[in-house]
Structure 1
Amino acid sequence: MTGKGAVSVLYINDDPELLELVSSRLEREDERINVRAVESVERAKAVRSRHGADCILSDQHMPGQTGLQYLRSIREDGDEIPFILFTKTGDERVASESISAGITDYVIQRAIGDPSALLARKILSAVEHDRARRRAEQTDRKLRSVAEATDDALFIFSPDWQELHFINSAYETVFGQSTEEIRPDPQAFLEQVRSEDVDHVTEAMGRVSDGEAVRIEYRVERSAEIEAWVESRCIPVTDDSEEIEFISGFSRDITDRKYYEQSLVEKNERLERFASTVAHDLRNPLNVADGNLDLARTEHDSPYLETCAGALARMDDLIDDLLSLAKEGSTIDELTPIAFESLVRSSRENVRSSEASIDVEESEVVRCDPGRTIEALENLFRNAVEHGGGDVTITAGVLDDGDEDGFYVEDDGRGIPPSEREAVFERGHTTSDHGTGFGLAIVDQIVAAHGWEIEVAEGSDVGARFEVTGVEFADDGWA
């Protein structure tokens, strides 16, 4: 038999009759076994070099090199091929030395009886064990090569963090500590953690041991001069009985990201201060102009004064929108469960139109930053009024089709042509004489900060419809 299940046996014996007898019996005993028979160790070396073998079956007493001597030479080369000594004499010294040399099995050949069944069973068992070992080693090599190709420190700990099952060399770069230091003392990595963060890390370790997946950020001191930020993610891996079998995870250097985040916060703070200062300086003369305009309108009735009033109102809206863009950037505060209907009710109070109708058809409890979500809804409502007129009808509701939760705002105005639907979220884009072009850009920014998505569609009454998806409802496990 040839193929994946075949087992090639190299049988060595200087007795030609035994060579023929044992070979034929083994092949007859199990069709998977193929035997190549040779009369000496020297001949065996040549045959194995040319054809290979899965298992060696050898007599002990032969002219030239003995079976035990051949075994020793093979093991000295680091070769772990299954080797079974099949000999007529039960010599305790030979048996003991064979075990010391790394023999796979030792079988005494009896004068009477057929040992084929026993030999076949031992050969097949030894070969299968060897193949399983080599498969495991190959898998281990592949996994280690992958582990060494990453800059992340990969690790596997026991559930109590007392034993380290695996660590890759990237650990040294991330923590500034040799892997030789952590292997005998698995919790030695805590020595590298900044003292102010040790309690935070040990508390997180306890949570993982209790079955919780954890992601934390903390500082490590690689040396007296070098401090770095590290992110670690750990998951408890359980067995079939739901008992934690081991803890797996990785740690990575996030120093550059933390510095970038800090610089971004500082930049946003400077931008907010600058915008607030500019807005304050603009509003002072704007208030003066608006006050004098009111006085002029009491003495004169002129369409030019109405045009001037509209321009001042638009400047005021523009200042508000610019402040909104600069104030929050792309960040949101803590997410809070709140009824969608409540968000709509709060938003409509700031829409300048006594004639516009805003109805809520359905409501769910939404997890969001309420202040910024209200701001987004306000801008959607203002957009409907600006493009649909003061008497526009606006409808808001939730999307709950089982696949994509979210909410929508639509109006019965003139709608948005398909060719313009992507451009409406660009800053400064407007088709209204009264719009600033920043309202929908602010909406898009707030939606993105939540991790949601927004699309423009056609409303049921031809008007514009904005759909926000990816929203989490409280009844999906957020309550």
Structure 2
Amino acid sequence: MSYLLVDATSVLVVGESETATERVRSAAPAADIVTVPSVGDALDTLDSQDQIGCVVVLEDPDRQPVEAYQEIRSDYETVPILVFAPESACDVPALASHWDLEYLPTSVDDGTVRGVVDDALARHQDRRREAAESSLFTTLLEDGDVMIYAKDTQGKYLYRADIEGNADPESVIGKTDVEIARTELRERAKEAYRDDMRVVETGEAIYQKVVDHEYGDHEDRVRTTKIPWRDQNGEILGLIGISENITEEKTYERRLKQQANRVDQFIQRVAHDIRTPLQVAYGSLDRARAGEKAGIEKAEEMIEQVESTVTDLHRLSTDVDTSTLSGSSIRSIYLEVLTTDLATLFEATWASIRTGEAELIVDLPEETVIAAETETIRPLVENLLNNAIDRGAPDVTVRVGTVEPRGFYVANDGPTLDEDDRGEASHSETDGTGICLDTVAETVDRLNGEVTVEGDEEGVRFRISDIPVITDADRSFRPTEPISIDENRDIGPVSIPGSAEYDDETDRWTVVGNGTNIWSDTHEFHHVYGAGNTPVRIEARIESLDGCDEFSKAGVTIRSGTDERAPFGYVGTTDAHGSEVIWRLAEDGFTDSRQFEELPDTVSWYRIDYADSIMTCYLSAAGDQWYPVDQRPIELGDDVTVGLLVCSHDSKRTSEAVFTDVRACKLDAE
């Protein structure tokens, strides 16, 4: 039983004077009197009995009472100690010089003894409770991994939890949020300070307040509770708060909803695989009737594509319970869902709307894809094409091409725009110009991109940028000289050292890693690597990941070096959120990530190619057919490191991943 559940109401009397013992017993009848003959026995009793609330030291002919006090106090710092002995047996000045030692001469009356003993018992009870509460608070601050803090009436920090990735608590003591905030967080800090003042001035708590904040490409969400901190008289001393970053929690909730729609998306994908070629076929037949020979050829090609899809579905329906083929086929189809061929989508959408004499020119590099589901992108494409037709003349020409960084444009030679209609696309309804950008803006926002509208004498151009468009994924490279992966080390200030072991007989790497995260300015993981000269490739199959957190991660990476802040690209798996890409494009950049939330066991192979300062990340179900899912321009220099990494996403635990078929090599363009 905890000592906090036992009332400290017993008095420990140390000494052999029966007369003095009876005086104490009669003076404090409500207390339980425990007697021992010596200091050694007293120490044993204090060690075994939690109910002792004070110690009374009696006269000892062989030693001064102050010596007994010192021996007891060396082991028990908080228990009150009283000396009850004749003045002739004590060095009274020596007794008076010690903290928390009260001297009672035997000449005092019983009422005085009772008062002093009762005060000592009450003081010890309060002191023990306060010490426990202080210890609890200190434990929460130092080890709780929760942002708890206390501030004074001016909003200045008095205490703050020591959380990894945050400023040292000592560096913020005596300062307000505004004084310690970075420039990009200053407005949020001002709002937090206003909340502090409201709590201390009104005495009203703020519960579960959620604040969203964006800076750069990053967005986070924090939930905060602040309550008045009062003394025993009810006077406000400041506030106590707890703040929790719930960005991942909210993101996880959103992704769970997305996961609930995966079956519908799979069905939609199958429908799309049939509907899209049929739409193109219908449009081609119309052109064939108008005398275009190429229209017949295109229609036949699309009908063959429909036939192929139906054949695949038939094989799935007859094989679903008996063969691994069905599982791999489903995974293959689902991987196709992760990307959309832009040219095909534009052409199919164009064929499905009434275009009249209008003409579509698609000037995209061959095999240009966007790493997003077709049903996510289709409304954007439909909106842009319909808008171009509505704004233009009957014979309007619509062009589609690529833009930097990572995007595409849709332009038409229709009427130009007024100055007020150019710039960022934020219109919510048509305003006489024919522009309606709700769907466009919403879709681009979901992809964390940007849409702008440009106009000149030649027409109007919608520019969609900073989205996962991949224009150069199918460059032909020939693997040449292998790169030896033979080094491993921890990157960043991990709490638990990682390790890596290679089994030559099974061609398996077993990698154990610690680390808080790989995100923002935090880079903590175990890295297994080799050095090479660009262009290079790294690929591997992740056989298993024994994660300790939903965002524990393992994958392949190409970096400019082993420095913690080195630029890099990464693709791999997480414990509960599917595949993930992570980028840091410069040493002073911001490390950001994207999870794909695909169905479990969809992907087990991962690959990165880096050539001509372009890095492309790929996923594969079986290592034979690769799907590009992200591509970025990134300057790493000629000398790079290629290899594996594991991050536990938990500073107190490690995660273990098993990699097979790890291949790193230099590349030559074919």
Please give the range of the TM-score, normalised by the shorter of the 2 chains: 0.3 to 0.5
Structure with greater strand share of residues: 2
Structure with greater helix share of residues: 1
The alignment's TM-score, normalised by the length of structure 2, stands at: 0.33
